[in-house]
Structure 1
């Protein structure tokens, strides 16, 4: 678990990983609890070996709310998660927990 702070209208790159040789699905899910006064948005992006990042999905998290951001179900080369402070005047504080998948589907 870690705590992040984001200034108004700014972003924080929570996770970024990739491999140009082989795509993977071994990326974490995230449980995000908004402890601050500002609403936040968590966005996950994917990318092919050659190209820009594409948005996959996002969730909005209101103050004192806890939500989960699921990883992509299909293998990707590059993956990142960004948290955005949606307020123009309040700071954001979030408690983030990474949940990695089991290395074997039967476990």
Structure 2
């Protein structure tokens, strides 16, 4: 019982600190605010099952975040596909970088 209370207070403290960090990030352009607000939402979902259920039923979550979460879950269950996608994107990124770094005038004779 005491451990649950300490954990709940820890989540509240972490969520509050991250919320203040997000507010500071809104005021100062050097500090990003989005990670702080995402951490705040995550902490609140750990504290309140009611908020967690509301968030999962929210139309914006269903429209934008749920497809991303499903895609990440699929990559977690299929690590070979993950490695292939990472290797493919890395190779194509290197190809693009190399092709952009070589001036066209070097190929003209």
Q: Normalising by structure 2, what TM-score?
A: 0.20
Q: Which has the larger radius of gyration?
A: 2
Of the two structures, which has the highest relative contact order with CA contacts closer than 8 Å and spacing of 6 or more? Answer: 1
Q: Normalising by structure 1, what TM-score?
A: 0.20
